[in-house]
Amino acid sequence: MSTDSPVRVADLTKAYGRRVAVDGVTFDVPAGCVFGFLGPNGAGKTTTIRMLLGLIRPQRGAVWLCGAAMRPSHPVLARVGALVDGPAFPRFLTGRRHLTNFARCGRRLDTPVAGRVTDVLDRVGLREAADRRISTYSTGMRQRLGLAQALLTDPDVLVLDEPSNGLDPGGMHDVRTLIGRLREAGRTIFLSTHLLAEVEQICDRVAVVAAGRLVAAGTLDQVRAGATLESAYLNLTGHSGVVNAPS
Ligand code: ATP
């Protein structure tokens, strides 16, 4: 494992009561890479992301972000943008007002706040809706606003938990384009998603978890091992199929 990698986790472990959600997970995300984090429902992806961001403490193991050993509210988090679990917003504010408040709330921006807010709203396709109340936004528009919030500080590392959730095909295409541009600009992107076609299009490296354990990690080609990502994934996760033909 490279100690230069902006995201590193070692032996990460977390249980909720007797249920072990994440069990000894170790991986690293090299700089400038788009890293796909895959696994079935309940595999432990969101729990891993919450530990990555210092939102919950691991019972065992450790996380390093940009070389810093993570703990809750660590200053290194200023270099990390995150979209996690359908973010909650103050619905009575406009998108622009919310982002302006968020930017001013203890965060340091190199550029003037108003210009930066307009820039990120443009980048996620919310220019027209910027001055409408968030209560009037569709699910996909709120997801775009969450992405804009993650981009506000022009972070070195982006942690995106299912960023395409609720987006229409055009919106998903925009997210892929945005991620590609961020990679070109040298950013590191940790992307948790169920969209395997999206992973095949944009990810350099992939990790697969199942029942809390890491079952594969490597380049996209290493994990596919000559098959499609879908068949490799189904094999790795032991999926036997639950859909029965009608009798
Ligand atoms: P999905 O793809 O459905 O979002 P996931 O891979 O993100 O799933 P997690 O949300 O990390 O999975 O959940 C991992 C396991 O931990 C699951 O068995 C889940 O039921 C359990 N779990 C998650 N959060 C809690 C919690 N707050 N209390 C108790 N159990 C939890």
Per-residue pLDDT at 59: 95
Q: Which of 46, 43, 40, 51 is nearest to 13 (CA)?
A: 51
Per-residue pLDDT at 121: 95
Average pLDDT score over residue span 172-201? 92
- Using 50, 70 and 90 to split pLDDT, how confident is the model at 244? low
Cβ-contact 72, 51 below 8 angstroms: no
- How far does the centroid of ligand 1 lie from the alpha carbon of residue 226, in Å? 31
Indicate the SS3 state at residue 87.
coil
Average pLDDT score over residue span 212-226? 95
Nearest CA to ligand 1 atom 9: 44
The DSSP symbol for 33 reads -
The DSSP symbol for 94 reads B
Tell me the pLDDT tens digit for each residue of 131-156: 999 999 988 889 899 999 999 989 99
C-alpha–C-alpha distance, residues 138 and 168, integer Å: 11
Task: Give the residues surrounding ligand 1 with Cβ less than 6 Å away.
Answer: 16, 19, 21, 39, 41-47
Per-residue pLDDT at 27: 96
Judged against a pLDDT cut of 70, whether residue 1 lies above it is answered with no
| Average pLDDT for the chain | 90
C-alpha–C-alpha distance, residues 40 and 194, integer Å: 8
pTM for this prediction: 0.91
**Which of 25, 47, 53, 214 should be mutated for ligand 1, with most atoms under 8 A from CB?**
47
> For residue 181, what are its two tokens?
């541009």
- How far does the centroid of ligand 1 lie from the alpha carbon of residue 85, in Å? 11
Tell me the pLDDT tens digit for each residue of 72-97: 888 888 899 999 877 789 989 999 99
Question: How far is the CA of 230 from the CAs of 46, 96, 148, 160, 236, in angstroms?
Answer: 21, 39, 30, 21, 10
- Higher-pLDDT residue of 244 and 41 is 41
Phi, psi dihedrals of residue 68, rounded to the nearest 5°: -95, 135
C-alpha–C-alpha distance, residues 96 and 177, integer Å: 23
C-alpha–C-alpha distance, residues 174 and 105, integer Å: 28
Give the E-state strand segments of 121-228 in sequence order.
157-161, 188-192, 205-210, 213-219
Judged against a pLDDT cut of 60, whether residue 247 lies above it is answered with no
C-alpha–C-alpha distance, residues 161 and 55, integer Å: 14
